[in-house]
Amino acid sequence: MELLDRFLRYIKVYTTSDSESETVPTTARQLDLAKILCADLKEIGIEDAHISEFGYVYGSIPASAGCEAAPALGLIAHMDTSPQFSGENVNPQIIPNYDGKNVQLGTSGRKLDTDMFPWLPTLAGRTLITTDGTTLLGADDKAGVTAIFCAVEKVLKEGLPHGKICVAFTPDEEVGKGPAHFDVKGFGADFAYTVDGGPENEVSFDNFNAAAAAVKVNGFSIHPGESKGKMVNAGLVLFEFNSMLPAGDTPRNTEEYQGFFHMLDISGDVDSAVSHYIIREHDKHLFEGRKQTMLHIAELLNEKYGEGTVTVEIRDQYRNMREIIEQYPMLMDYADQAMKSVGLEPLHTPTRGGTDGATLSFMGLPCPNLGTGGYAFHGPFEHVTLEGMEKSRDVLLELIKLFAEK
């Protein structure tokens, strides 16, 4: 099956995860793709392909003759798509020989605009794949799934020399639970790469430290005509809390290594109110400072309105893999060599998010992240190019070659 056909087949499968679910995986629909991938792996000759009890797809290829001493290489991508936008009934637009100009997304009224997405002209001449404006595309991370699949398929079909190759397709990455039940020991890799980034030349070993925060306010509701000196309007206190955070430290105003506070939602009334945030920062000391800022604001408001008015619950989500990957510089060296071998100039960029590899690195599996050729993930403007995915596949083939030689 050609790469484009395989990608289109996979994005048609509805696999959105659910942050509120307590099941494993968080949505049963992810198993629909897991079953397809497991069958596809078996079909190309990966005999031990299987689905774990937690919905992970695993498979491995034994080292070819003469490469038995090579380090075992793991390749990982996730099956789920983001719950931030609909991932059901994906209807992609395929534009051969794209002209680099604005693209109308079906009849949705949305468009890919070169002012908003200034890299679009650089994709001219390629086959561009977009949404119809009503769903996300699913390139995050089915482009990664496809690139891995097509790379190992080529290795097997052409009998290319290789060390042991371990493949995993994970559920629930988009809700931060991808590594929760990952069997590092059973996976069998010495080192791995997640294929879950943006442009095909992206190489990243530097991601956010991440935490989630719930800010809860207990108000005091009384008849407004009798409320002088008594009423504590929980909603207004919550607004006051948010106003005390650094106004410029939001996703809209930050880039590269700049961290932020991001309000995800807000709800409530006079009696009680709650808001959920995510906290992001690359530097671990600045990260701790951001958490302390939120706790300090709560203290100040409790002094003003009474103890127990504001509570802040903070839960760490993942850490910056950099402190682990720096111990294995050859992983970045190999990635750079692989990129250059296929005509790409490596782009070292901080990941303004997280990947399964961030947590897996701290679980004993050092795991940088590679690009997939995709852009504008998690919404209706998501797009990818066929040529980008092909380059991503070729980078993996070069990595397999490099690991076999070592």
Residues 280-294: tens digit of each pLDDT: 999 999 999 999 999
Burial 294-306 (b: 16+ CB within 10 A, else e): beebbeebeeebe
Fold held by 3-207+320-405: Aminopeptidase (3.40.630)
Given this model, what pLDDT does residue 353 score?
A: 80
Annotation says 80 is catalytic: yes
Burial of 359 (0-12, 13-18, 19+ CB in 10 A): buried
Given this model, what pLDDT does residue 34 score?
A: 98
Q: Where in the chain is the domain with CATH 3.30.70.360?
A: 209-318
Neighbours of 357 (CB within 10 A): 32
Torsion of CA 256, 278, 55, 31, to 10 degrees: -90
Q: What's the whole-model pTM score? A: 0.89
Q: How far is CA 132 from CA 105, 145, 271, 357, 371, in A?
A: 5, 22, 43, 31, 23
Of the candidates 80, 132, 394, 398, the residue annotated as catalytic is 80
Q: How far is CA 75 from CA 12, 178, 195, 266, 364, in A?
A: 23, 14, 7, 39, 15
Of the candidates 140, 173, 196, 249, the residue annotated as catalytic is 173
Annotation says 173 is catalytic: yes
Class of domain 209-318: alpha beta
Given this model, what pLDDT does residue 349 score?
A: 85
Given this model, what pLDDT does residue 1 score?
A: 65
Residues in the chain, pLDDT under 70: 1
Given this model, what pLDDT does residue 123 score?
A: 98
Close Cβ partners of 24 (under 8 Å, ≥ 6 residues apart) = 54, 55, 171, 172, 177, 180, 181
Return d(Cα 81, Cα 98) in angstroms, integer. 26
Q: In what order do the strands lie in the sheet with 128-130?
A: 93-95, 128-130, 383-385, 374-375
Q: Where in the chain is the domain with CATH 3.40.630.10?
A: 3-207+320-405
